[in-house]
A and B are shown apart, each in its own frame.
Chain A
């Protein structure tokens, strides 16, 4: 079975500061890893995905994530937070066929002016 653990249900940063949202995964097969963002009362938008190619993945809105197999991690970062980044972020893991995607509990990002 696959699962992800997001460390920190709530992260608060100042505008312009580094954003770091943590995600660790557990998988018995090579994982495919994703980060999604959710704004209030909306669906999920894909930020980026790791699919066994480059370990450093760049996504939309200036976000990137690095797959580290030795640490079973896939942390999401952004060098400089913007007010519009305030949202809920979900890490997800699946196997090749995507029929078993599992989500983490989510991390709420707050950006202070």
Chain B
């Protein structure tokens, strides 16, 4: 149990376009989902916390207008990188926690490698 599916796994887009990344909890309901960004050979940096039905909470320094997060249901959160630029190229990972109880250690998606050219 506790599977999180992230799609796409890889995406290449042109500078100035927008890209949407999906994070789905397949076999459980997730009230909270987290979005992380990981640069090569570095750790995960929390970008934002997404709660179902409410606005996401962004970490300091993360542009909320650039990284749009929508958590419309208990099984789906999306991250849209708007007007992407080469510096947005990175590995993006989501994680999700279960509804109705404390789940220590959230389940992670397999990540999305974004390349902006």
Question: Which of A32, A41, A98, A106 contacts B111, CB < 8 Å?
Answer: A41
Cβ–Cβ < 8 Å partners of A32 in chain B: 104-105
A103 lies within 8 A of B44 (CB): yes
Cβ–Cβ < 8 Å partners of A45 in chain B: 108
B43 lies within 8 A of A104 (CB): yes
Cβ–Cβ < 8 Å partners of A97 in chain B: 102
B105 lies within 8 A of A99 (CB): no
Contact-size category for A: 20 to 34
List residues of B whose CB falls within 8 A of some A CB: 4, 6, 9, 32, 34, 41-44, 46, 49, 91, 93, 95, 97, 102-111, 113
Task: Report the Cα distance A44→B105, complex, angstroms.
Answer: 11
Shortest A51–chain B CB gap in Å is 5
Shortest B90–chain A CB gap in Å is 12
- Once A98-B97, A99-B49 are accepted as A-B contacts, the answer to whether A105 and B113 lie under 8 Å apart by CB is no
Shortest B55–chain A CB gap in Å is 15
The listed residue with most B CB atoms (<10 A of its CB), out of A41, A45, A98, is: A98
A103 lies within 8 A of B43 (CB): yes
Task: Report the Cα distance A108→B6, complex, angstroms.
Answer: 24
Task: Report the Cα distance A43→B111, complex, angstroms.
Answer: 5
B102 lies within 8 A of A105 (CB): no
A13 contacts B by Cβ under 8 Å: no
A98 lies within 8 A of B44 (CB): no
Question: Which of A42, A46, A108 contacts B105, CB < 8 Å?
Answer: A46
- Once A42-B110, A99-B32 are accepted as A-B contacts, the answer to whether A90 and B43 lie under 8 Å apart by CB is yes
A102 contacts B by Cβ under 8 Å: yes
Question: Which of A34, A41, A44, A46 contacts B113, CB < 8 Å?
Answer: A41
